[in-house]
Amino acid sequence: MKRLLSITLLSWACTTAFAAAPDEFTLTIKDHAFEPREITIPAGKKIKLLVVNKDATPAEFESKQLGREKIIPGNSTARINLGPLKPGRFAFVEEYHENNAAAQGTLIVK
């Protein structure tokens, strides 16, 4: 029952996400490292950044430049609304390991 419910919810979430149709971009965190470290998005439109945390421990996506901070519990995905943004480069970090180079990334807006 629970599984059925979650499948229904998931498919509903997918359809509404596609219906609303802002572009989605995916960023993965594994072993506290971003993959990819650089991600390019289009300027001037709203997009959704999906941050997939493949570690068992919680992570926090933070960007002072973008004004975003979001905790991503272990083994889960967070949706982060971004834009519309002007062209430029925006730094982001996985705050819990921000001193590691692998936990620092750049969002490139073109």
Partner 1 sequence: MFAAALIVFRESLEASLIISIMVAATRGIPSRGRWILAGILAGLTGAALVASSMGHISNMASGMGQELFSAAILALAVGMLAWHNIWMSAHGREMAAQARNAARAINEGTRQCSVIFIVVALAVLREGSETVLFLYSLATSTEGGLQTTLGGGVGGLAAGLLVGGLLYAGLLRIPLRWFFSITGALVLLLAASMASQAASFLIQADLLPSLGAPLWDTSGVLPQTTAVGTLLHALIGYNAQPAGMQIVFYVVVLVAIATGMLWAVPRGQHAKRQGAAADHAAEKQ
Interface with partner 1 by CB under 8 A: which residues? 13, 16, 32, 46, 55-60, 64-73, 76, 78-81, 85, 95-99
Distances in Å between the alpha carbon of 6 and those of 10, 12, 24, 99?
6, 10, 21, 37
User: With respect to partner 1, which residue has the nearer C-beta, 40 or 91?
Assistant: 91
| Helices and strands (H, E) in the chain, number of each type | 1, 9
User: With respect to partner 1, which residue has the nearer C-beta, 39 or 68?
Assistant: 68
CB distance 41 to 107 below 8 Å: yes
Q: What is the closest distance, in whole angstroms, from the C-beta atom of residue 36 to partner 1 in the complex?
A: 21
Q: What is the closest distance, in whole angstroms, from the C-beta atom of residue 29 to partner 1 in the complex?
A: 11
DSSP lists the bridge partners of residue 47 as 23, 82
User: With respect to partner 1, which residue has the nearer C-beta, 36 or 73?
Assistant: 73
